[in-house]
Structure 1
Amino acid sequence: MTLPSSPPAPHRPAVEGAFAPRKIIHVDMDAFYASVEQRDDPALRGRPVAVGGSRQRGVVAAASYEARRFGVRSAMSSMAALRRCPELVFVRPRFEAYKAISQQIRSIFADHTALIEPLSLDEAYLDVTAAAGSATGIAAAIRARILADTGLTASAGVSYNKFLAKLASDHRKPDGLTVIAPGRGEAFVEGLDIARFHGVGPVTAARMKDLGIATGADLRARSSEELDALFGKAGRYYYWAARGVDHRPVRPDRVRRSSGSEHTFAEDLTTETELIAGLAPAVAAVWRHCEASGTLGRTVTLKVKYADFRQITRSRTGAEPVASRDALDAIGRDLVRGVMPLRAGVRLIGLALSGFSAEAATDRQLALAL
């Protein structure tokens, strides 16, 4: 999630909500893929379920709440998931079914507003500023209609900007509705554990806590200059997030032109084997976007940041879009081999796919590497 890199314009107040506040809803389906499988197969209800591949190189695309209690999460390797939950049931993904249900849910949104920004098959932002009725009432009506029409539950967050609405939808999952009213955003954020901020990963959260930044209030106490010095470009994001500020509009029919994922490691990676293993979650995350959006890309870019913070990228563009997760993984591995031998230990590795073409995947059945 990206907040404005500059402060609000001079004619706008520093506190979001004091000037013409928007009414934003973030709707997030609860464990969507796994919930669909449990709905359609009564034998799976109440059991720990993972949608994805059970083979050695398989990846969890989604986990039911029963599985999450064991620590099973999306993008986790299947073998790691099984170690945490030996009773885990793996189910092959049915993306055509998920897409059909997603379209059904999208039509429910459209009954309330045309300002819909889908983020994936299972979540979206809605701007209901101009809609009749309260945003809270609309969110409640949407959740009730989703349950009645699909048999699935959704969580929703209501607030005056996208950042807070997203935080709110996560607050009481599953099957929750949380409202952050105008004027209360900063107070809501100040009590949050820093690890719950979007854009603060485990390594950054640990570093912040070492610096005495454990909550939103601690983060807000640091100056913009100090955060810039500590965290670079991300410092500005942290500064405004701590104040609950986000002026981004809801963008209907947003076209995403690339998808990327990166991970910072607690200990530097030093071997080819470690780099390839470290790249696996990024491959899984990027391919999940391809599956959810029905798009395929032609250009694969590897990002490597060394322990001294120097950074390099390596790219490969094919004549045709990358057609499978196995192909994406193979290209990523080749790009890793291309940066060997390493000039120093690696603290961050990432992968991005760009040059998207929706037409290339319109009629395909997308599936995980099983």
Structure 2
Amino acid sequence: MKRSIIHVDMDAFFAAIEEKDNPSLKGKPVIVGGTEERGVVCTCSYEARKFGVHSAMPTYIAKQKCPFGIFVPVRYERYKEISSQIFEILFSITDLVEPLSIDEAYLDISNIEDESLMIAKKIKKKVKEETGLTISVGISYNKFLAKLASDWNKPDGIKIIEENEVPEILLPLPIRKIYGIGEKSTKKLNGIGIYTVNDLMKIPTDLFESYFGKYGHEIYNRIRGIDNREVKISRKVKSIGRETTLKRDINDIDKLQKYVERFSKNIAYSLEKRNLAAKTLTIKTRTSDFISHTKSKTMNEYFYKVEDIIIVGGQVLKEIDLNLDIRLIGISVSNLKEKSLEQISMF
């Protein structure tokens, strides 16, 4: 089966959320990070990048490069909230999702019948509709090329790298674009006249280990379009959950139950894919005063069927105080173990 991998990467994620929450910042050089002199830039808007500001840059240097920049502190909880919405969209496409960070992930869509470009456009559309933010998407037959493609037309980009385009499409690229070649290696290679992938292709095989150590073989293959890494979903899973920020605050238990049912279907699918069962179910809410609350229930027996998750979720939901309107709801299952025998429904 031909592999089809998608890499998604939010555009200037933290800065974009600050602009979303404060529209007066739109189009301005927004710099998110430590606001004190000893602070560090986490990310910045594309307007700030034009001045040479970038992530991991000390704040005092960013202020020198962009004296009219608008410096805002990090609000990590807010970014995590939006990230959860985005990953809910990704998991609605496929369960084969490998998160790389709060705003970046791989998806393996090899088993999905829909065309990869249509899936990518669907992701972009849903992210825009549900969060107001843009996301760049790369599509190819392996992880390296998919990640490379997502950076091709940023921001709000989409790019496919087909197998018949490789290695020609890579040859003009600067070597710093190749995953695994860091700043030190780039300077070292530039010092001997190697600036592009085309230059790098001319290096004998045995010299790759001299320059890149144990990663030499991987880099040799990468620039030739070879990358056999799988999308990893086998990391130790402690919990599986879904959550969403509601478009309008509500305290109607029947409406909230609909979200429980929707999330239960996704969670049941994830449990089935991983051959897991759960014993504890937790519902998380965030009220209109932005305070988060959780309520859990641990069962005597393990469960994984969608109807069982819905029933337990309904029981927990009834115990939640709805005096304040709810702005976020989430459901997760934990206390997981591998299914050894087929279990019947608890109810």
TM-score (norm 1): 0.62
Residue 233 of structure 1 aligns to a residue whose secondary structure is helix
Change (3 A) 1:255 1:169: farther
CA drift of 1:197 comes to 1.4
Aligned ranges for residues 116-195 of structure 1 at < 5 Å?
116-195=97-176
Q: Give the aligned partner of residue 69 of structure 1.
A: 50
- The question of whether the paired residues in 2 share the 8 Å contact of 1:118 and 1:253 is answered with no
Which residue, 37, 45, 50 being the options, matches 1:56?
Answer: 37
Residue 165 of structure 1 aligns to a residue whose secondary structure is helix
Which residue, 18, 35, 45 being the options, matches 2:16?
Answer: 35
Which residue, 78, 83, 97 being the options, matches 1:97?
Answer: 78
Q: Give the aligned partner of residue 327 of structure 2.
A: none
Letter in 2 for 1:116: V
Q: Please list the CA deviations of residues 259-279 of structure 1 after superposition, one character each: whole Å capped at 9, or x if unmatched.
A: xxxxxxxxxxxxxxxxxxxxx
CA drift of 1:224 comes to 1.7
Change (3 A) 1:143 1:213: same
Matches of 1:167 and 1:250, distance apart in 2: 16
Change (3 A) 1:21 1:183: farther
Residue 85 of structure 2 corresponds to residue 113 of structure 1: no
Contiguous gaps of at least 5 residues in structure 1:
1-19, 257-358, 360-370
Letter in 2 for 1:95: Y
Q: Give the aligned partner of residue 214 of structure 1.
A: 195
Letter in 1 for 2:78: A
Q: Please list the CA deviations of residues 217-271 of structure 1 after superposition, one character each: whole Å capped at 9, or x if unmatched.
A: 2212222212223332232232112111110010126469xxxxxxxxxxxxxxx
CA drift of 1:59 comes to 0.9
Residue 103 of structure 1 aligns to a residue whose secondary structure is helix
- The question of whether the paired residues in 1 share the 8 Å contact of 2:9 and 2:105 is answered with yes
Q: Please list the CA deviations of residues 64-120 of structure 1 after superposition, one character each: whole Å capped at 9, or x if unmatched.
A: 111111111111111010000001111121111111111111111112111000011
Residue 138 of structure 2 aligns to a residue whose secondary structure is strand
- The question of whether the paired residues in 2 share the 8 Å contact of 1:223 and 1:239 is answered with no
Residue 58 of structure 2 corresponds to residue 85 of structure 1: no
Matches of 2:85 and 2:146, distance apart in 1: 22
CA drift of 1:58 comes to 0.8
Q: Please list the CA deviations of residues 5-49 of structure 1 after superposition, one character each: whole Å capped at 9, or x if unmatched.
A: xxxxxxxxxxxxxxx331000000000000000011011111111
Number of aligned residue pairs:
238
Residue 67 of structure 2 aligns to a residue whose secondary structure is coil
Q: Give the aligned partner of residue 244 of structure 1.
A: 225
Residue 28 of structure 2 corresponds to residue 47 of structure 1: yes
Moved more, 191-200 or 225-234: 225-234
Residue 163 of structure 2 aligns to a residue whose secondary structure is coil
Change (3 A) 1:230 1:75: closer
- The question of whether the paired residues in 1 share the 8 Å contact of 2:185 and 2:211 is answered with no
Residue 185 of structure 2 corresponds to residue 198 of structure 1: no
Q: CA RMSD in A?
A: 1.7
Q: Give the aligned partner of residue 225 of structure 1.
A: 206
TM-score (norm 2): 0.66
Residue 8 of structure 2 aligns to a residue whose secondary structure is strand
Change (3 A) 1:25 1:206: same
Q: Please list the CA deviations of residues 140-169 of structure 1 after superposition, one character each: whole Å capped at 9, or x if unmatched.
A: 110111011110000000000000000000
Letter in 2 for 1:225: D
Contiguous gaps of at least 5 residues in structure 2:
238-333, 335-347
Residue 14 of structure 2 aligns to a residue whose secondary structure is helix
Which residue, 211, 215, 228 being the options, matches 1:234?
Answer: 215
Residue 97 of structure 1 aligns to a residue whose secondary structure is helix
- The question of whether the paired residues in 2 share the 8 Å contact of 1:47 and 1:66 is answered with yes
Residue 9 of structure 2 corresponds to residue 22 of structure 1: no
- The question of whether the paired residues in 2 share the 8 Å contact of 1:21 and 1:182 is answered with no
- The question of whether the paired residues in 2 share the 8 Å contact of 1:35 and 1:152 is answered with yes
- Identical pairs, percent: 45
- The question of whether the paired residues in 2 share the 8 Å contact of 1:116 and 1:253 is answered with no
Matches of 1:178 and 1:255, distance apart in 2: 32
* Higher Cα radius of gyration: 2
Q: Please list the CA deviations of residues 297-354 of structure 1 after superposition, one character each: whole Å capped at 9, or x if unmatched.
A: xxxxxxxxxxxxxxxxxxxxxxxxxxxxxxxxxxxxxxxxxxxxxxxxxxxxxxxxxx
- The question of whether the paired residues in 1 share the 8 Å contact of 2:140 and 2:160 is answered with yes
Matches of 1:211 and 1:235, distance apart in 2: 17
Residue 171 of structure 1 aligns to a residue whose secondary structure is coil
Letter in 2 for 1:176: G
Residue 232 of structure 1 aligns to a residue whose secondary structure is helix
